[in-house]
Amino acid sequence: MLKKRIIPTLLIKGDELVKSTRYKNHSYVGDPINVIKIFNEKQVDEIIILDIEKSISNKDPNYELIQDLASECYMPLTYGGGIKSIEQAEKLFSIGIEKITLNSINYKNLNLMKEITNKFGSQSVIAAVDLNKNIFNKLYLYDWIKKKNIKLSIKEHIQQCIKYGAGELLINFVFNEGTLCGFNKRLVDFIDFEIPIPLIINGGINSKKNISECLNFSKIDAVGIGAYFIYYGPHKAVLISYITDKEE
């Protein structure tokens, strides 16, 4: 089992670093290479980078940019976005990516995860799951590309991802993303079944205390953090920081 981790989770669109709120209203927040350099200095545990265009555009990952990011990055780097074949995964690993994350493709072709993990090992793949909630606060699987409910059981989908070889599970809580509203660890109470792989939660983290609460919870192995490490103050000035820079 991996140690408890704090993971900056960054979004790229084209060649730019952006930040969204509830998966909408993407704003430019900087150059991704410069942000990687800042996180190098702050000695972060690892980084997740998600390209929010590639799955929608059905284009290949931007290998040139990814290689530049991987070359600059001193810590383990995970990439997600537009991965549809083992050849793409193989190229990403060859240019320095340590892990890939698969999300929307898992609803269409879980065999891809099995194929990749059989060749590169389960430690190389994170299964990402987007969850949203309805007006009754009931969680459901969310298709971030089509912006709609996926009528599958959350439990069954997660179990299938694990069965097909995922080495870690990343759950993104869409309704919290970018809001800095705080993450309530009770949101993972729906997990009343065994998850034998590390669980990363992402969405809403807003303080050191909130991070500690999550990491002290037995079900959570790592926290993904975006806005809290990107914005500063009530007017959301862009100021890249890390846990050691923040006030309690």
Residue 73's identity, in one-letter code, is C
Please give the Cα distance from 65 to 40 (Å, whole number).
17
pLDDT digit of tens for each residue in the chain (248 aa)?
468 999 999 999 999 999 999 999 999 999 999 999 999 999 999 999 999 998 888 889 999 999 999 999 999 999 999 999 999 999 999 999 999 999 999 999 999 999 999 999 999 999 999 999 999 999 999 998 888 899 999 999 999 999 999 999 999 999 999 999 999 999 999 999 999 999 999 999 999 999 999 999 999 999 999 999 999 988 889 999 998 765 54
Question: CA angle 36-38-41, nearest 5°?
Answer: 110
Antiparallel, parallel or unpaired: β 125-133 and 222-225:
unpaired
Query: Which residue among the candidates 31, 51, 60, 130 is catalytic per the annotation?
Result: 130
Beta-carbon contacts of 145 under 8 Å, excluding residues fewer than 6 positions away, are: 55, 56, 104
Note the pLDDT of residue 248. 42
Active site residue 130: yes
CATH assignment of 5-245?
A: 3.20.20.70
Residue 45's identity, in one-letter code, is D
DSSP string, the chain: -PPPEEEEEEEEETTEEEEEETTEEEEEEE-HHHHHHHHHHTT-S-EEEEETTHHHHTPPP-HHHHHHHHHH--S-EEEESS--SHHHHHHHHHTT--EEEE-GGGGT-HHHHHHHHHHH-GGGEEEEEEEEE-TT--EEEEETTTTEEE-S-HHHHHHHHHHTT-SEEEEEETTTTT------GGGGGG--S---S-EEEES---SHHHHHHHHTSTT--EEEESHHHHEETTTTEE----GGG---
The answer to whether 161 and 169 have CB atoms below 8 angstroms apart is: yes
Q: Where are the domains of the chain?
A: 5-245
| Listed residue (12, 90, 108) closest to 51, CA to CA | 12
pTM of structure: 0.95
